[in-house]
Structure 1
Amino acid sequence: MAAALGAAALRRLHAALPPRLKRLAVHPPKSVEVEFADGSSFHLSAEFLRVYSPAADSKIRSVGGEKVIFGRRHVGIMSAESVGNYGIRILFDDLHKTGIFTWDYLHHLGSDKFGLMRNYIITLRKHGLSRDPQRRK
């Protein structure tokens, strides 16, 4: 019985771990592609990655206590550099570069890309903001 519990716990732990990164391709200025050992692969746009950057950012607008990044529809990726064996740092053309996208985080973003983007658009609408950049006066 103890061996069966041990095997079940090991299966749960293995299922909870994100799969190992198999391939990463950066396609400046528009996207990043990631492929994982479990066969999942994701195409993530520059806008999506910029909006969900894991870094605190001075260009985030706080609206009603909610942090919202807006106006990034046309943001581009200028470059990316590896950070150890666990992630990449992306330099966007709005000069944001402080977020480190770990393989785990990229898998999370890809796995829920449509739900996250839908929630982002709902949040923008709720606050009267747009994905498009503001016009300069």
Structure 2
Amino acid sequence: MSEIWPTELRVSKDRRTLSVTFNDGRTFPVPAETMRVLSPSAEVQGHGPGQKVTVPGKRNVTIAAITPTGNYAVRIAFDDGHDSGIFTWSYLRELGEDGAALFADYERELAEKGLSRDA
């Protein structure tokens, strides 16, 4: 099985979406809010099982910067100051393919905790 990697990363003019095109020709628009609230960082995912944090109030977050990290990932900084998430190619692909379902789960978590996407 061949590896999948991005051939292009493009931030939208309003900085709210990252479009990722992979070497198999598929392109996925990934919202900044999705990447921020599902960041692979320890700050969001925790340091072990059961430590995941539900991050509220990020509806209007934007992408501040993207920095390559080796040949396997990018570090994405957001305008709220969060910049510790290293997004591997496989995780970006997962967010592209399954992002709607993952975001729906996030919205359910917000509702269960009485939190909001708004600041």
TM-score when scaled to structure 1? Answer: 0.75
Runs of 4+ in structure 1 off by over 6 angstroms are none
User: Matches of 1:22 and 1:99 in 2, distance apart?
Assistant: 20
- 8 Å CA contact 1:68–1:124 kept in 2: the answer is yes
Q: 1:38 is matched with which residue?
A: 24
> SS of the counterpart of 1:57?
helix
Q: 1:65 to 1:128 in 2, by over 3 A?
A: farther
| 1:23 aligned partner | 8
Partner of 1:96: 82
Q: Percent of aligned positions with the same letter in both sequences?
A: 40
Instruction: Indicate the larger mover: 23-32 or 118-127.
Output: 23-32
RMSD: 2.0
Matched residues in 1 for 2:78 and 2:5: separation?
A: 25
Distance 1:45 1:66 in 2: 20
Say whether the 8 Å CA contact 2:43–2:53 is kept in structure 1: no
**Structure 1, unpaired ranges of 5+:** 1-13
Q: How does 1:1-80 map to 2 (within 5 A)?
A: 14=1, 19-27=4-12, 29-57=15-43, 67-80=53-66
Deviations 1:34-67 (A, max 9, x none): 0112222110111111011100227x9xxx9652
Between structure 1 and structure 2, the one with the greater Rg is 1
Whether the aligned pair in 2 keeps the contact of 1:26 and 1:80 (CA below 8 Å) is: no
**Structure 1 residue 128: deviation in Å?**
0.8
In the TM superposition, 1:103-118 aligns within 5 A as: 103-118=89-104
Q: Which amino acid aligns with 2:11?
A: V
The one-letter code matched in structure 2 to 1:86 is Y
